[in-house]
Structure 1
């Protein structure tokens, strides 16, 4: 389906789609059968081609060496990476521009610029065993000790930590005038007191793992604090808004791939002497899927456009939640239907529907579960009314 996109967004979309089709999709099954990995030379080529396709530093300004993409342009690019399984689309560094607003010049030089150049890699240590979607329930602490902070706590689901050399660590301030408020810190992974508890096995097969880390009296200089004490949740909300919208975009890409693959199969598969696509039951599943994709894509694109034109941040927060909620649940339904259309083939790991059926499930959980998105949306509705959310 063709939606009205500005010329540069359309060009980015086509360029990234060609990269995904040529460089990533052919390696999906290999990655699935090798714990999410592809040969090192192939991975290096993917990263090079991703940069050539303009997939790195999309949110960073041109004057910093970034791409300077609008939110909508990032959405159409991320949508195309969502068409590939096994997180092979995670082959380019993409720091977010809130980091430039939050970090000191020295921090930008030490952590953000190397992230942009692919010399360093980051991960987020926020979630805890008893604090997932309810970030305010974290128990990790940061206590000021002269020119240092002492960090303690245990973090779960630290995505990509096995590929990273530093973390964003979120804690509550212990003591002082800002006690109980949130703060965010840079922590190099090799800092004494940082240890891996274990690396759980997950439903999907990704190169990026999600270990559990324990922080025991981890001493970091005070200049590792991002912003000020009490700023942590504001930065996390900015990260959530951006990532929730990009999850929505990737879910749209996954749904499109599934619909295309299931449609092609249904046309070719002969059942009782006729193509499977001739059966009304299958037609209904495909019709529902493409209709829901159209709705999710419109919602995602419009939310991006609104952000680009200066949407109120609280309205944007709710609308990013709406896009993630609808798109992630839509993609799950599409994946379920695709498995059904493929029949027994849809239960084989070599089949795209089987992989997406597993992989898409987490999109209803991470960066705020669907139930949390509903709370955010309802709060926005009750405080600001219908028109503020849907016009």
Structure 2
């Protein structure tokens, strides 16, 4: 039985959000994929905001039908959006990852200025962590965030890359080093000293804008600090737990989409006088995909239910990492096997979305922390008395 850990309210929410995305996202998915149409992306983001779906993570702000909204429902949204178009889902997941620290750690004035527009769908957010020499190893960060007491401003100098929503986001959560340690500040796109050297071209996720952000004596007011000086690592850890659970939903959506294509083809394509699905080797592929999807769903929604029950920080790190690892590896497995089952049809755009899913899935085991880093986080809990080296 699929959705075993979900209750009736969760299932009703899934049905509502699926209908919404079929109406708003599906008709625009081809334009996002083929023309990288940012206007189409923005239209759906605005529609999500107007419907209240971007507030699911914030019960104090949510005004919808759910009695207890939370990460479970944000992950369902992620799963259903990724089923249709993972590039679009990346845009909203990144915006919500920006909203998360704003909601928890920003002043009321900053929340009004930056958080509210993101949740209403009228603005986009971004997160700036990765650097040329820094990926999952955030301890090697080189970006500096220094305080100018004379002007009561933070001064940011550094270079970030592989930033989702770079150049199109309205506000950026920037992580860098102060004398007290890693620190986070909010930087609006309008700030002096922020620049966008280039955007990247990826093999997949077409329509999701990813690029570089440069800070050259970029200044923001003192109240743009999130939390406290030196508190950035704790903020980042909470953000990554949220992001990795959401990525579990992303992986599930891509895997389910591929599986549905594969099973439909196996039942309708004739080979050697029989449906393709009659072949034992095809049974094995379908069975392998099916159990992996079920396992991914159970692990992902275990993590979200734990979060909604109050777990976070170190208490959720292993479970969030497991959700991200298993679901994104499953997405890659299912996308690859679906292309193989479809044969020539699987590697052409003219015969469906299998090749798009194959290209899109490949990013999932890299973004938000690689599969290797997820394994490190998992083993770190199970081997608490030793220091594991990457």
Q: What TM-score, normalized to structure 2? A: 0.90
Cα separation, 2, equivalents of 1:263 and 1:18: 22
Cα separation, 1, equivalents of 2:275 and 2:56: 43
CA contact (8 A) 2:256 2:293 kept: yes
- State the shift of 1:64 in Å: 6.2
Cα separation, 2, equivalents of 1:111 and 1:21: 29
CA contact (8 A) 1:184 1:232 kept: yes
Summarize the Cα distance change of 1:168–1:48 in structure 2 as closer, same or farther, 3 Å threshold: closer
Gaps of 5+ in 2: none
String of CA shifts for 1:108-139, please: whole Å, max 9, x gaps.
12211222223332111111011011111110
2:55 alignment counterpart: 57
Cα separation, 1, equivalents of 2:63 and 2:251: 29
CA contact (8 A) 1:182 1:229 kept: yes
**Would you say 1:336 and 2:336 are equivalent positions?**
yes
Cα separation, 1, equivalents of 2:16 and 2:63: 20
1:16 alignment counterpart: 17
2:376 alignment partner, SS class: helix
Match of 1:114 among 114, 117, 131: 117
- State the shift of 1:206 in Å: 3.0
Cα separation, 2, equivalents of 1:339 and 1:53: 36
Summarize the Cα distance change of 1:295–1:276 in structure 2 as closer, same or farther, 3 Å threshold: same
2:376 alignment counterpart: 375
Cα separation, 1, equivalents of 2:343 and 2:23: 27
**Would you say 1:194 and 2:202 are equivalent positions?**
no
Q: After the TM superposition, which residues 1-391 of structure 1 pair with which residues of structure 2 at under 5 Å, given as runs? A: 1-4=1-4, 5-34=6-35, 36-37=36-37, 40=39, 46-47=44-45, 49-51=47-49, 54-63=52-61, 69-89=69-89, 94=96, 96-146=99-149, 147-173=152-178, 175=179, 178=180, 181-311=181-311, 313-350=313-350, 351-383=352-384
Summarize the Cα distance change of 1:47–1:139 in structure 2 as closer, same or farther, 3 Å threshold: closer
Cα separation, 1, equivalents of 2:2 and 2:164: 34
Cα separation, 2, equivalents of 1:384 and 1:14: 45
CA contact (8 A) 1:15 1:53 kept: no
Cα separation, 2, equivalents of 1:227 and 1:48: 29
- State the shift of 1:31 in Å: 2.8
1:88 alignment partner, SS class: helix
CA RMSD in angstroms, aligned pairs only: 2.3
CA contact (8 A) 1:244 1:367 kept: yes
Moved over 6 A (4+): none
CA contact (8 A) 1:191 1:218 kept: yes
1:388 alignment counterpart: none
- State the shift of 1:224 in Å: 1.3
Q: What TM-score, normalized to structure 1? A: 0.89
String of CA shifts for 1:184-208, please: whole Å, max 9, x gaps.
1111223222122221211124333
1:129 alignment partner, SS class: coil
